[in-house]
Amino acid sequence: MARYSKKAGEKVEENLHEMKEGKLRSGSGKKVTNRKQAIAIGLSEARKEGAKVPAKKKEKNQ
């Protein structure tokens, strides 16, 4: 299983709280209501800060 840093986990937790409060916004400015989307935003922010987060999954073209 993929290993995430403590900092990445904290970032995801922070974003989930923001989502539940209705304050989390996506890149387009719309309110985030999906839990998976909130987690993805948290991991993305952690990556930008240099936390240990595995790379995004690559899409397979068939």
Q: Tell me: the pLDDT tens digits for 11-37? A: 999 999 999 999 999 999 999 999 999
Query: What pLDDT, on a 0 to 100 scale, did the predictor assign at position 10?
Result: 94
Q: Which is more confident, 47 or 2?
A: 47
In the predicted structure, residue 62 carries a pLDDT above the cut 70: no
Q: pTM of the prediction?
A: 0.80
In the predicted structure, residue 52 carries a pLDDT above the cut 80: yes
| Amino acid present at 15 | N
Q: Do 8 and 55 contact (CB within 8 A), yes or no?
A: no
| Per-position DSSP letters for 23-57, written without gaps between them | --B-TTSPBP--HHHHHHHHHHHHHHTT---PPPP
Query: What pLDDT, on a 0 to 100 scale, did the predictor assign at position 55?
Result: 81
